[in-house]
Amino acid sequence: MTALQFPLYRFIVLVGAVFVSGASQGMLLPLLSILLEEAGTSAALNGFNASALYIGVMLASPFIEKPMQKYGYRPVLLIGLLSVGSALFLFPVWKAFWFWFFLRVLIGIGDNMLHFSAQVWIMAESPNRKKGLLVAIYGLSFGVGFAVGPLMTRLVQYGIYWPFLVTGLGCMVFVILGCFLKNSFPSLDSQSARTNPLRRYKKALFLCWGGLFASFAYGFLEASLNGNFPVFAVRNGFSVNTISVLLPMFVVGSLLTQIPLGALGDKIGRKKLVPAVTFIGGLSFMCAVFFANSPFALAIVFLISGMFVGSLYSMGMTYISDLLPPSLLAAGNILAGIAYSIGSMCGPSVGGFFINSFRGGIFFVAIAGVLFLTCMFCLLQKPFVAVDEHERVNL
């Protein structure tokens, strides 16, 4: 098979694969939450099942870097896509809590492999002058997929197989396209190669802990919003169609501002940008508490909050890359994946507890609190500038 080494083709395949990943996650979170709620599963157990995907992300994180250094970006990307696609095909086979839990863990492992290889590949070969813009396009692709995902829950009216079949086939299309990519390997200087991995992770953690908390916050926000809100909405009389329209409003907001915010970060620096957007995002979720029973008002709140924190993950990842030398980019991505997965596991569990314990939309307070903490921690992050200007391959 002839490998294509055109940078534009590579970038298109990477962002396309991320789109499919976003669509599968955006479809799975609300659809499985609704199906488990209709089966009589408690909100706490429903949230625990949703956290399985992020358990898979965490399980895979410590074991991805070495295979990628040995075999390159492409094999890790393709195995991740195959894992996600295979699991999606199996969901309708058996409607059981623990079977779905296992499949979500498998999807988490595959998604982590996919995103890890794509993120490091893009950031390692992006010129510094437009790194924020390219990572924003990457995040935009995931966001568009995540917005499309909840809309695919409507396919369940034609049969439970259809939502899973469509997203699974999407994964397989990009497996085929990915086979034509020219493989590439991450950079690792001789000193880093000799350094104990735990020491490298410790150094990366010391250099970029503020950016890592932004990854945690986005995981908490995303999983809580998409895993808990459908349960809250069903209990408050919202229809499935209403939920499928409300959830994408957050992502629509992020789509409107993701590229402008990425370019703005390149201009003024993520050190200033991330605290500003997380503070405004926290305020918007505090407003959601007072409009929890109004679909129209919630749509406006989700749109506004999405405009500011809907791209927090890509902003956080770019901020992390600002703070780290190229040899620590892979370690930083692993730590970001772990932080994201911890946040994603905490989000549904905390949100489920709040839904069971309090009336109204009090669980929005937890999201707001995490965003306010992110603002504070990023302000406290020392402005390390560890990345020197160096020649990178233009995309």
- Residue with the bigger pLDDT between 131 and 177: it is 177
**Could you tell me which residues are beta bridge partners of residue 181?**
4
- Residue with the bigger pLDDT between 277 and 48: it is 277
pLDDT band of 271, cuts 50, 70, 90: confident
pLDDT for the residue numbered 189: 52
pLDDT for the residue numbered 188: 60
Q: What is the DSSP string of 283-312?
A: HHHHHHGGGTT-HHHHHHHHHHHHHHHTTH
pLDDT for the residue numbered 214: 93
Q: What is the mean pLDDT of residues 268-277?
A: 90
pLDDT for the residue numbered 19: 93
pLDDT for the residue numbered 102: 93
pLDDT for the residue numbered 1: 47
What homologous superfamily does CATH list for 8-183+197-380?
Answer: MFS general substrate transporter like domains (1.20.1250.20)
* Burial zone of 305 (CB within 10 Å; 0-12 exposed, 13-18 middle, 19+ buried): buried
The tens digit of pLDDT for each residue in 99-144 reads 999 999 999 999 989 988 888 888 777 776 777 778 888 888 887 8
| DSSP tag of 269 | -
- Half-sphere exposure (CA, 13 Å, Cβ side) for 202? 5
For residue 336, give the nearest of 199, 196, 208 by alpha carbon: 208
Domain boundaries, the chain: 8-183+197-380
**Which residues, 6 or more positions from 35, have their beta carbon under 8 angstroms from its beta carbon?**
95
The tens digit of pLDDT for each residue in 329-375 reads 878 888 887 888 788 778 877 888 888 887 777 888 889 999 999 99
- Residue with the bigger pLDDT between 309 and 147: it is 309
